[in-house]
Amino acid sequence: MPKIVDHDQRRAELIQVILKVMSEHGLAGTTIRTIARAGGFSSGVLSHYFTNKDEMVNFAFGAVAEAIFVRVDERLQKTKSPKDRVRLLVEELVPSNGTDRESIVSIAFWGTALHDPDLRSQFHERYENWRNYLRRELVAAVNESGSDETNVDDNVELLVSLADGFLISWTLDPKRYDSAMRQRLITKGLKLFDL
């Protein structure tokens, strides 16, 4: 009798292996062979789920983005203050440590998205979703504080740019930015917006 495979569970397992390989070997070192070896399965298993490396990268980034948004939604439900919610959103966009797989995969994805229109489209979609989260919370923070700030969209772009800068710096030079320094920099960055 053939073995029954739970394809959703298998995809979840595969994504963990893909993320591990991408974070350890970079995008250039991520091949069907290295993924199969790291996961302890044949290349044929991967070909059942993905037709090529680009599909795997796309799937990996989508899985990372989904995991982040699920985590953000859970944390937002527990956070009442709009200012704290903005901080939470910035914290979720930046690495918690220098070995944060999500950050490493995101940076690898950016380089690939520059040359792949489908991946770039996914990038824009995910970032627009992120901007919408920030916009909603910034509007709430402005309303709560009674501020006369009217250009929320510019502040959204500035916050995204600030968080992206943190993401790159903290991922590429994790020893320079310990936890206390990362928290200090986030606090100083948010103060620029009276948050």
Domain range list for the chain: 52-191
How long a stretch of residues is the chain?
195
CATH superfamily of 52-191: Tetracycline Repressor, domain 2 (1.10.357.10)
Rounded to 5°, the CA angle 139-126-155 comes to 30
Rounded to 5°, the CA angle 3-6-12 comes to 135
Gyration radius (Cα) of the chain, Å: 19
Q: Check: CB of residue 120 under 8 Å from CB of residue 113.
A: yes
CB atoms within 10 A of CB 40: 8
**pLDDT lower than 50: segments of the chain:** none
Give residue 48's pLDDT.
83
Q: Check: CB of residue 58 under 8 Å from CB of residue 18.
A: no
Give residue 129's pLDDT.
93
Instruction: Say how far apart CA 172 and CA 193 lie, in whole Å.
Output: 26
Q: Check: CB of residue 141 under 8 Å from CB of residue 195.
A: yes
Give residue 3's pLDDT.
66
Q: Check: CB of residue 122 under 8 Å from CB of residue 113.
A: yes
pTM: 0.82
